[in-house]
C-alpha cells in the first residue's frame, strides 16, 4: 500500500514480489500445534483426530504464513540484525471454517514500515487461501527491528480497524481469569509448527538478543491466551495482541478477560514476575454471541 509520506526505501520494499508458499498439512500438524499451545490428553477435540469435534484451535491461523514471511528479506533495512528482531503485534482474521488437513497457499507483502527512531516497525500482510481460492486467514504481523530506524520514514501508522485497536482494559474486575503453567520444553515443542527462529532454542543466539536464556515464541503465548478466550467465551472471528514482554518456558501465564459487547478484551501476565506480556488485546466473537463456559 503506497503512501506519499514513505521514503523510497519503503516504496521499493512495498513493490518486492514475495513468492507464494504452498503449505500442505495433515491432522498430525493440527494436533502438534494444539499440543504446542498447551492442549492436553483430556482435550480430545484438540488432540484426537477421531473425535467428532476434532478441530484446530483458531490461532492455528498464524501457522501457514511462516514460510511466506520467511521468504521476505528485511536486509533492505539499515543495520539489519535478525537477532535484534522482536515480534511487536499480531492480528489474525479467520475468514472461513478452518480445515484440519489439505493444502493452503499464502501470499505476503509489506503493508507498512514505520521509522521509530531507534527501531523500525515493519507490518506484513499475509493472505492464506485453500485450493479453491477461498480466503481462510488474513494475518497482519508487526515486527520491531532494534537499531534499524532513522531512515526518514513516517512515525505514525494508519488506522487498520481491529488490527490496530487500543483495546483499553475496562475499569472493573475481569469476567474470567485462567492460569496456565507453561512447560520447560514448550518452546522446543512449539517451534516444530514452523517458527524455527533460534532465539527460542539456542542460548547463545538469545544472548545476542539481550536475553539470559531462550524465550517462548510470542505466537505461542498468544495461542495459549487465545485458547483461554475460546474456552471461556466460545469461537471468535479475529484476534489481536500487542507483545508487551517476554515469557520464559516454565513460567505461568495468567489471562484476564472482559466481555465488552462483541469483543473480549484480554491481557496476559507472567505470574512469577507479575510482568505484563500481552496488551491492547481483544478477540471479536463469532456473531457477537458469547458461548460462555464460566
Whole-angstrom CA distances from 37 to 28, 47, 209, 222 are: 15, 12, 24, 9
At how many degrees (to 10) do helices 27-36 and 218-233 cross? Answer: 90
C-alpha cell at 38: 498447551
> Pick from 84, 28, 82: which is nearest to 54 by CA?
28
Give me the active site residues, please. Answer: 195, 200, 215, 218
Distance CA 198, CA 206 (A): 8
The number of helices, as runs of H, and strands, as runs of E, in the chain is: 7, 10
C-alpha cell at 160: 487498520
Distance CA 49, CA 245 (A): 34
Amino acid at each position: 500500500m503506497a503512501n506519499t509520506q514513505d521514503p523510497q526505501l519503503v516504496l521499493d520494499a512495498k513493490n518486492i514480489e514475495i513468492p507464494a508458499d504452498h503449505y500442505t498439512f495433515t491432522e498430525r500438524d493440527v494436533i502438534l500445534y494444539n499440543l504446542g499451545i498447551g492442549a492436553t490428553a483430556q482435550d480430545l477435540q484438540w488432540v484426537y483426530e477421531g473425535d467428532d469435534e476434532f478441530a484446530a484451535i483458531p490461532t492455528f491461523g498464524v501457522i501457514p504464513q511462516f514460510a511466506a514471511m520467511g521468504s521476505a528479506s528485511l536486509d533492505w533495512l539499515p543495520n539489519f540484525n535478525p537477532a535484534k528482531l522482536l515480534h511487536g503485534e499480531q492480528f489474525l482474521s479467520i475468514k472461513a471454517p478452518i480445515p484440519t488437513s489439505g493444502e493452503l497457499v499464502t501470499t505476503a507483502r509489506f503493508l507498512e514500515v514505520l521509522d521509530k527512531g531507534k527501531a523500525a516497525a515493519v507490518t506484513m500482510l499475509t493472505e492464506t487461501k485453500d485450493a479453491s481460492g477461498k480466503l481462510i486467514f488474513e494475518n497482519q504481523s508487526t515486527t520491531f527491528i532494534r537499531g534499524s530506524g532513522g531512515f526518514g520514514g513516517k512515525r505514525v501508522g494508519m488506522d487498520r480497524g481491529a488490527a490496530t485497536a487500543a483495546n483499553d482494559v475496562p475499569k472493573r474486575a475481569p469476567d474470567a481469569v485462567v492460569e496456565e503453567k507453561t512447560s520447560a520444553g514448550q518452546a522446543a515443542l512449539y517451534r516444530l509448527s514452523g517458527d524455527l527462529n533460534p532465539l527460542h532454542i539456542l542460548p547463545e543466539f538469545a544472548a545476542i538478543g539481550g536475553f539470559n536464556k531462550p524465550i517462548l515464541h510470542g505466537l505461542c503465548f498468544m495461542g495459549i491466551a487465545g485458547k483461554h478466550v475460546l474456552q471461556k467465551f466460545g469461537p471468535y472471528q479475529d484476534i489481536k495482541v500487542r507483545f508487551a514482554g517476554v515469557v520464559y518456558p516454565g513460567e505461568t501465564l495468567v489471562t484476564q478477560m472482559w466481555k465488552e459487547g462483541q469483543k473480549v478484551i484480554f491481557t496476559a501476565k507472567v505470574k512469577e514476575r507479575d510482568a505484563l506480556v500481552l496488551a491492547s488485546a481483544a478477540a471479536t466473537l463469532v456473531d457477537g454471541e458469547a458461548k460462555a463456559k464460566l
